[in-house]
Amino acid sequence: MAHPSQLGFQDAASPVMEELLHFHDHALMIVFLISTLVLYIIIAMVSTKLTNKYILDSQEIEIVWTILPAVILFLIAFPSLRILYLMDEIGNPHLTVKAVGHQWYWSYEYTDYQDLSFDSYMVPTQDLSPGQFRLLETDHRMVVPMNSPIRVLITSDDVLHSWAVPALGVKTDAMPGRLNQTAFIVARPGVYYGQCSEICGANHSFMPIVVEAVPLVHFEEWSSLMLEDA
């Protein structure tokens, strides 16, 4: 959960998000080293009046500053491609949930069950209970079992939406007439918040996403209760 004045990312709740955080730190360190080197060169060039003919015209230096950027790009590209392939890997999901975007709420269908589906609306500010978050809480949460591969099929019923949960490292567009998919594994129990991340109209800011991860036993109890109420 993000908090005011937060400078970094939210704590990772899935293996993919942990990889994304590590890659961010890796790339940021490279950018920091490059920025430091360039700043030092600029200061040295401005503050000194001495010149060196071997620096002004040197084949060796030109070779170095041609090869070094290429090596740096490889150091960034290879980890990035690895994470991209990890994010596209679906494998053998234990549960499939279909998320459909509407103006302006989400509906969820648990396709492994016959009659388990519901709509998820934002809880109005005046109806919030103590401890609930404004503009982030919903009347029905998407409940999933922890430590299980979850596949989410994402589409839209009207305009473009985007199903995004930062702590899980998930952000997939919901497009009318198209079925996109993503997958994640929640590493620990908890409640994880997200929002529609594609401008979709007047109430774009009021269609939050809440994913609740629980142990498998509790998930089975929840699904049984939902099926009884259906």
Q: Which mean pLDDT values do the consecutive 10-residue runs of the chain (230 residues) have?
A: 83 93 95 94 83 70 87 94 89 93 94 91 93 92 95 94 94 94 94 93 92 95 86
Residue numbers of the domain that contains 148: 95-229
Which pLDDT does position 55 carry in this prediction?
A: 65
Are 151 and 163 within 8 A, CB to CB? no
- The CA distances from residue 175 to 106, 148, 157, in Å, are 13, 26, 8
Tell me the Cα Rg of the chain.
24
Among candidate residues 190, 211, 6, 208, the one with its CA nearest the CA of residue 125: 208
CA–CA separation, 133 and 123 (whole Å): 9
**∠ at Cα 164 (91, 141), nearest 5°?**
90
Are 149 and 183 within 8 A, CB to CB? yes
User: Which domain CATH number covers 131?
Assistant: 2.60.40.420
Which residue in this structure is represented by tokens 């970094």? 8
- Assess whether 21 and 67 both reside in one domain: yes
Last residue of a domain, one of 68, 88, 108: 88
